[in-house]
Structure 1
Amino acid sequence: MKRATIKDVAEAAGVSRAAVSKVLRNAYGLSDDMRTRVEAAMTALNYRPQTAARGLRGRTYTLGVVLPDMRNPFFPDIIDGVISTLRSSSYEPLIGFRPTAEATEKHAIDTMLDHKIDGFLMVAPRLEESYLTTVATSVPTVMIGRHDRDCGYDTVNNDDRAGARLAVEHLISLGHRDIAYFGLEPGSAAPNNSTTLRLVGYREAMTAHGLADSISVFEGTHFRGEHYDEEVARRILTRERRPTAVFCWTDLVAFTLMAEALRLGLRIPEDLSVIGYDNSRLAALPQLSLTSVDQSGHRLGSEAMKLLIERIEGRREERHFVLPPRLDVKGSTGPAPAPG
């Protein structure tokens, strides 16, 4: 079957080829009627712009989305936000991720650059700011999970320090004093990564409530295999003075901790309260019912796409969008157990 061309679409819609091109670019100044006719013609003809040809004209209408991995249950929420925003545009996402725990995202980024993408959305990349700035000088770029400033790219984030304080203050209100933080070792995270700021918020809240001497930090990693976090969880739960509550830097880490608590015969929340961060969809499952800080992954992805398209359309000044966190209290937190 002959592939439909832009000329075929224009004839079917009763408009000029220039009008079809404007619809493809999502340009301003088009009437709703013209846009509807062109889109209907493209659907009827199964028209897909050729990537190579679009690249020769200056755009490919593809956007690179780079993720640290594919296992985190929070990332689909971000992707949902990306797709919902792009649905009204001519852009398509191309998704890549870090191939191994020891690798970085550079391979995925370089591959996408070879495909002449029009822009990048990167989620918590474990890369030097100088490298990311270099990438952003050639391709419009937006970050989620990095709180960099004066870097040449936009950022969209949750207020991670405030979210951590919400979590700790909720536990303190339930009578907990021995509250541990299960985070990520510095070598696994960028200096301005979300986990770094969540640790700051944890320390701030503990200190503000006179609990500085009870600060207890445990660090997971991306480098020592998928079972290392299980070993860290076991250390937390079998120490001589076990904490009565643990604030975990992600829901995924919280699930690991809860599974280890179950293996050790600990009851949640009677023996141990657990709070995660992300409020991923899995957190709402009745068998988990994880209290978690909601950072609205869908909106993070949506706002990031809006900023990225603005960048592609010519905006040069940096913008940094911060969403307020919200604590979703469920069944994994309860009053501190009685001493002894």
Structure 2
Amino acid sequence: MTYQPDTAKTKELIRQLVSIPSPSGFTDDVISFVEDYLKPSNAEMRRNRKGGLIVTLPGENPDKHRMLTAHVDTLGAMVKEVKSNGRLRLDLIGGYHFNSIEGEYCTIHTASGETFTGTILMHQTSVHVYRNAGTADRNQVNMEVRIDAKAKNADDVRALGIEVGDFVSLDPRVELCDNGFIKSRHLDDKASVAILLQLIGEIQAEKITLPYTTHFLISNNEEIGYGGNSNIPPETVEYLAVDMGAMGDGQSTDEFTVSICVKDASGPYHLGLRNALVQLSKEHSIPYQLDIYPYYGSDASAAIKAGHDIVHGLIGPGIDSSHAFERTHEDSLKCTLQLLYHYVQSNMVEI
């Protein structure tokens, strides 16, 4: 019988997660949220030195381990320069483009803990002043943050406590639609984090005995390339990243199935694990798509590049407009959670 998850619970978890600012390098608050969420399950938890969270559920076989990961860090920025006009120049955190954040509301997080809101705009925004308002390049030189404070010059900005190196988070603008769609920034990868949290909670609540000791890494540096490259126990045989499936021209991924990645920019994923995931999907009537993501890397590929001798794979919900105005559907969340539920109770790939 195929497991039927509570997608309303998944969506509410997503809403809570995306509402916590957590650009890479600024993730303590969201990791604390995850810890608090999992405390009632009595699961074993510890933070690694990078600030990520590792949750361990014992299994019948303690000699062979599995590891699943989803990342809670997001795109964001840092203050690059306090400009003479009282605005801020940004340096981006993560792989995205300035055009995807033009007009976005944001929050500046100062070293003292104070926050200020603002808007990310072109310097040449006003069409009544700048002839090239529509054609100027959307880049670091032309884009700036207009702070919601009386700041006419750099001294005014610094008097507020804002300085170079302060983190800047983007407003998620989360919306849970009545027809099952979820619109928000940072569904990459907080949708998958919500799925793993729900999975851990239900394994514990149902007292499911896993066949292998299984670790869940809530990674906090994936967007900058190295979240999952360490803290992998030597007993680990299979390593499965749960991250967004990328949609676009030539892609088979959609918002209503689970995406199973066969290859990304790092190369092919393990054929045996991919075939096992496909077989589980077929056995439990879980809609899925196989796909290749040409400009993509995951925590699983980071682990391989770091030299770990593991079987690696990647699945996740389909996300439209990745690294910009993202959207998915509860059907994709459901399919991903179903596949994971059956995967963690299955036998390992024969090596």
TM-score (norm 1): 0.25
TM-score (norm 2): 0.24
More strand by share: 2
Larger Rg: 1
Q: Which has the higher contact order (CA 8 A, sep 6+)?
A: 2
